[in-house]
């Protein structure tokens, strides 16, 4: 009979692996979408819609899946979700028209809802002092995007892109079976079942009336939605901007996706150690500075000197660009963990609903930003316009956080003055 601690780590390990598998499926279009774009001769806007379609479903299903996890337990909900994802993933291999890819992509997107299940299931197993670390380790499943960057191009080269969804669907079924045999019903769910007491839907949704929840959602829109959007967009960006082939572009994108996923565990530890709000603030500053440089388009200046014209080229070469993208990915990975740590501080009994709602908003970032990237690229004819948009988003996050901190300090000052009176 396994001990409670052994159950904790077994559940956490399976949650993380299952989430990584789901995330690999969820970001699959970042690779196969390039081939589909070439086959159907899609515009950048159409490509943006294509890769964003699964992200939409994965976003809007997070709230109901989080509520279902609080209600029925993460083990059964996660198991059924993975089986349901495997079916449309396999069917994707047989589509051949743009609308078919979009419709099937909506069903494949259920893979993205796995985060709300896993975060609530993980949270139920660990004490408050280790919440940040545990949720950070689980969140490292974001590295599933790196799995796609590494594995999918190899499958495409060897067997064609249609083999990718077939392999992924089989892997999802295998993961679901392994998950079922190495996980356990969480103690919180067992206690509710024993006593017959369950959180009502009204109680689960009550915190969503608070402005704070939506502010956290804005932060997550950038750190998670921005991460997903870039994971989808970067292979194409490298191909177009730096004339790379698909395989090389996908491999170098791992410099962004893999560290960003793995560092999340460290971000959870930092949030436990130094406070989630402090970590968030540093994350936003780092991203703001890095995005300023990668936003600058390739530019040629001509100076009309006395001895003739002098030409200067100004832009970010591929090595500097990759280094800055690496820094952004690291910062976003830490930020993803710190935001969920602060959510647990405020809403420990509503991680399914509040965490699910914040996940919805973040996921909508992953859906909407690639579309905005495509529109901006088509309208401005500037490829780096995608990073200009992200610069604006992180600036909005910083303004929102600054206002919230000022209001909090003002409220604390009034409360202190009242106590002295």
More reliable by pLDDT, 73 or 167:
167
What are the residue ranges spanned by the domains of the chain?
Answer: 4-188+201-415
pLDDT in tens, 81-136: 999 999 999 999 998 899 999 999 999 999 988 988 988 888 888 777 777 778 77
Show the CA angle centred on residue 46, arms to residues 44 and 48, nearest 5°.
Answer: 70
Q: What is the CATH number of domain 4-188+201-415?
A: 1.20.1250.20
Cβ proximity of 148 and 31 under 8 Å: yes
DSSP annotation of 43 reads -
Determine which helix (DSSP H) or strand (DSSP E) holds 308, and give its type and residue range. strand 308-314
More reliable by pLDDT, 407 or 369:
369
Q: What is the pLDDT of residue 351?
A: 67
Q: Residue 302 class from Cβ within 10 Å (0-12 exposed, 13-18 middle, 19+ buried)?
A: exposed
Q: What is the pLDDT of residue 269?
A: 78
> 420: pLDDT confidence band, cut at 50, 70 and 90?
very low
Indicate if the pLDDT at residue 338 is higher than 90: no
Cβ proximity of 154 and 269 under 8 Å: no
Cα torsion 211, 215, 217, 218 to 10°: value is 140
d(CA 21, CA 10): 17
What is the pTM for the complete model shown? 0.73
Q: What is the pLDDT of residue 101?
A: 92
* φ, ψ dihedrals at 297, nearest 5°: -75, 160
Cβ proximity of 345 and 337 under 8 Å: no
Determine which helix (DSSP H) or strand (DSSP E) holds 359, and give its type and residue range. helix 351-380
* Percentage of residues in the chain having pLDDT higher than 90: 27
Tell me the Ramachandran region of residue 183: left when phi exceeds 0, alpha when psi lies from -120 to 50, beta otherwise. beta
């Amino acid at each position: 009979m396994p001990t409670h601690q052994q159950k904790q780590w077994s559940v956490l390990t399976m949650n993380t692996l299952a989430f990584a598998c789901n995330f690999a499926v969820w970001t699959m279009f970042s690779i196969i979408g390039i081939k589909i774009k070439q086959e159907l001769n899609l515009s950048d806007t159409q490509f943006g819609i294509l890769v964003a379609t699964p992200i939409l479903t994965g976003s809007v299903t997070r709230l109901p899946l989080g509520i279902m996890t609080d209600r029925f337990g993460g083990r059964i909900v996660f198991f059924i979700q993975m089986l349901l994802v495997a079916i449309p993933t396999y069917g994707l291999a047989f589509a051949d028209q743009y609308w078919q890819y979009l419709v099937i992509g909506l069903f494949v997107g259920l893979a993205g809802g796995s985060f709300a299940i896993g975060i609530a299931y993980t949270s139920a197993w660990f004490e408050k002092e280790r919440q940040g670390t545990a949720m950070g380790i689980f969140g490292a499943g974001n590295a599933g995007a790196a799995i796609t960057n590494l594995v999918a191009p190899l499958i495409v080269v060897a067997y064609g892109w249609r083999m990718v969804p077939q392999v992924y669907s089989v892997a999802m079924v295998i993961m679901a079976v392994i998950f079922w045999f190495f996980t356990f019903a969480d103690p919180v769910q067992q206690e509710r079942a024993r006593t017959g007491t369950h959180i009502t839907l009204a109680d689960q949704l009550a915190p969503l009336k608070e402005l704070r929840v939506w502010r956290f959602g804005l932060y997550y829109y950038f750190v998670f939605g921005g991460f997903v959007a870039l994971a989808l967009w970067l292979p194409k960006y490298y191909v177009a901007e730096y004339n790379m082939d698909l395989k090389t572009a996908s491999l170098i994108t791992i410099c962004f996706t893999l560290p960003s996923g793995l560092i999340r565990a460290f971000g959870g530890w930092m949030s436990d150690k130094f406070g989630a709000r402090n970590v968030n603030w540093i994350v936003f500053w780092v991203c703001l500075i890095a995005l300023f440089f990668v936003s600058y388009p390739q530019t040629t200046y001509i100076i009309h000197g006395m001895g003739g014209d002098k030409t200067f080229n100004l832009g970010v070469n591929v090595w500097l660009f990759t280094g800055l993208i690496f820094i952004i990915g690291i910062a976003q990975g830490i930020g993803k963990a710190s935001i969920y740590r602060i959510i647990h501080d405020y809403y420990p009994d509503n991680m399914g609903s509040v965490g699910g709602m914040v996940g919805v908003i973040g996921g909508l970032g992953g859906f909407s930003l690639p579309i905005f990237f495509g529109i901006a690229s088509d309208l401005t004819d500037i490829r780096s316009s995608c990073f200009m948009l992200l610069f604006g988003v992180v600036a909005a996050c910083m303004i929102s956080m600054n206002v919230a901190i000022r209001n909090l300090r003002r409220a604390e000052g009034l409360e202190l003055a009242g106590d002295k009176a």
